[in-house]
Each structure stands twice: as structure tokens, then as C-alpha cells.
Amino acid sequence: MYYCISFTHKNTDLALREKLSFSDEKKKKEFLKIVKTNENIDECLLISTCNRVEIVAFVKTLCAEFIIASLALLCDSDKKILLQKADIFQDQAAIHHLFSVASSLDSLVVGETQIAGQLKDAFVFALENNFCAIHLSRALHSAFKCAAKVRNETQISKNPISVASVAVTKAKELANLSQKQVIIIGAGEMGELAARHLIAAGARVIILNRNLQKAKDLCEKLGTLSQYDSLENLKQYLNQYEFFFSATNASYAIITSKLLQDLPYKRYFFDLAVPRDIDLNESENICVFSVDDLKLVVQKNLALREQEARMAYSIIGNETAEFFSYLNDLALAPIIKAIRLQAKQYAHTQLELALKKGYLKKSDKEEARKLIHQVFKAFLHKPTMNLKQLQGKVQSDTVINAMRYVFDLKTDLEGLNQYKCEFNMENNDEMD
């Protein structure tokens, strides 16, 4: 069963999301290891971004309490509060939610393009560390296919919008950015996005980063309107310029009140990080905008894209149904193959027994074999056609389990562990 536990901007505030964030791979690996110790959890992966923490899993039974208890323990949070806040999805709902996330329909900024890459990184990390296998691989590959279809068949990602672009839009409402010198703290993906949008707005940017080579590489990509410097010089920049965009992976605030001097002009700080990079007391001349403060701009974005979002959800609904139809196809084909193989084995055994006991002459063996084949072929034709007609239908799981029980078939059939079943149902009517 597919399972998803979701904490996002929709159900949790920024303070709680900060506690739940996984900024380093060591902590992420530790959490997934704990989750995998539960015998009912076969596969799992973790998505952690500035607006969401999601645990996607393939499980034998419901196990939200265990997963959330593990999360609470590792992130020093209250389990009861997490249980109250979490959105929990099962099977079809879980896949629909996953496809919505991949297609950026569940993002704070609908249509933003970062989430697909973040989801791919989470998948690769889980795969390389043996936390997920065939079941989540199928789901994630289908999620990326769905996201591509949404991008190609709707305008929802036209003129891509991200949290960084929304922050720059807000900054443009506060002042004319043309020729302004803007400080960006952090040379990661979010810092790069903010820099590109600021340069497009006419600003010049200075990138501050601990790793100077990374900052230099980014400036080479950005061009002549960018400079770089060491993060060690942060204090002098804080007390010289007006606009600051911070997006680091630090686990604590790096911009605090003790670094600031009183100045006679306004300074604007945009905190794009979770956990937050900025811990300042706001005043007449100090304005701080966090991720959650940008919601008004986001709502305008959502209204403009509402029609495209409806089209996108229609695609996601169809792709969800197609995914489960695909799983049903994988399950039905091995069932049909196993029943036919069982019939063949019984026919062969009974034919040899008849020859051994003298019920048939050896000279009649080939004719008897052909007759038996025709009998079981005729007998199995209707059941086979009926099973094929169940492909993609909700009741197929019930029928499949009944067939497994009635014919005493193995539940872990070989075909269930393949991306595509190689068994050709149409051309398997012969006994040999």
C-alpha cells in the first residue's frame, strides 16, 4: 500500500516546519533508517524543502503513528501535535498527492519549477541508500511523467515562478531595484534563482558564501552584474546596503540583531531559508519577510493560474487512474500465466499416469496430448477473457486475491517485481 505523510505550508506554520527540516544528509539517512526498522514498512523516502516535509512509503499496513513518533523523536517535536497537523494519504490518495506535488500543484507558488528537481534528489538519495526499491520507483517514475505532461499540456509553468521570484516581486513593490546593489547570502539553488531575478530587474548583486569557489562559480554564470565575497565579511555588508536575500542551509540564524548598527534608512531582509537565516527585531527601519509572509503575492499567482490548475488536476486524476491500471496489469498477467502453467503441469502428470497404468497406448500419447490441450484451452478461455476485462478496474484486486487462494498460487509472483511484465497473454494459448 502506498502511504504519504505530509507537513506543508497548508497545515503547519514556519516555526514547526523549521523543527521538522532536514538540512543535512546525515540526519535524513538516520531518520529513514529508523523508519525502515519497522517490519511493516518496505520502502520509504523523505522530501524536505522550505515549504514541506513529506514521507512517502510503501507499507504492509497503516503505520502513521510509528513514522510520526520517529519524526518527533529525531526533530524534538511533540508527537501529539504532529499527529494532529499531518495530512495522511493512502493508496490512490497517496499517489494523487505525490503526482500533485511533482507537478507543483501543491506548492506554495503554483507552477514553480524547483519541486520536481527536489523530488528527484530525494528519490535518488533513497534509492542509492537502499531505502526504496521497485514500488516507490514505479510511483516516482510515473510522478515525473505526470509532471512533464502537466508542463507540456498546460501553461501552469509558463514564465516559471518560485519563492525566490515572489520575494523579488515583493522587493520591487518596495523600491526601484534598477542599479541597486543587493546582497545575497548563499550560493545554492535558491540564491542563484534570487540573483537571476534581481539582475533581470536591473539590480547588481553581491554573493556572500562560506565556500568562495562556489560563489565565484556562480558569479561566472551570472555575468558582470555580480560580485562575490566571503561570508566572514557579512557584518560590514549588513551595515552598508538596503536589500538582503538569505538562503543558506545553516541550522541556526546567521543574521542577528547584534550584527546590525542603527542606520538612518530602511533595510529589507528576505529570508528564503528553512530553518530561518534571519532573527531580527523588526522596527521602523528593519523589515523582515519570511517564506510565509509572501503568501499575498502567492495568492495573486494562484488566482491567475486557477484555470490552468483545473486542467492540471484533470491530468493528475487521469494519470493516477492510469498508474493503478498499470499495477493491475502487472498483477493480472502473472495470475493468468500461473493458472495456465498449473493446468499444463496437471495435464502432463495425468497423461504420464494414464500411460503408466495402461489406460492409453504409447502410440496414442501424441493424440491424447493434443486432446487434453484442446480441453484445457477451451475450459480456460472464458476465465482468461474475464480476467483480461478486469484490467484497470477497482474490483480486480479482490478477484486476484480470490484466484490466488482458489488455485493455491504464490502471492509473490515473479511478474510483480518487474517494471513491465514480459508475459504475452495474447500468444500464450499453446500448451508448450
User: Which amino acid, 214?
Assistant: K
Q: Which residues, other chains included, contact 345 with Cβ-Cβ below 8 Å and sequence gap of 6+? A: none
What SS3 string covers 396-417? HHHHHHHHHHHCCCCCCCHHHH
Active site residue 63: no
Distance CA 65, CA 425 (A): 42
H/E element, 53: strand 52-59
Catalytic residue (one of 44, 50, 63, 132): 50
Distance CA 367, CA 19 (A): 75
Give the end-to-end CA distance of the chain in Å, rounded to a whole number. Answer: 36
Closest to 43 in 3D by CA, of 133, 109, 115? 133
What SS3 string covers 341-386? HHHHHHHHHHHHHHHHCCCCCHHHHHHHHHHHHHHHHHHHHHHHHH
Q: Which residues, other chains included, contact 371 with Cβ-Cβ below 8 Å and sequence gap of 6+? A: none
Beta bridge partners of 267: 286
Sign of CA dihedral 163, 166, 168, 170: negative
DSSP letter at 239 equals: T
Distance CA 294, CA 307 (A): 22
Q: Which residues are catalytic?
A: 50
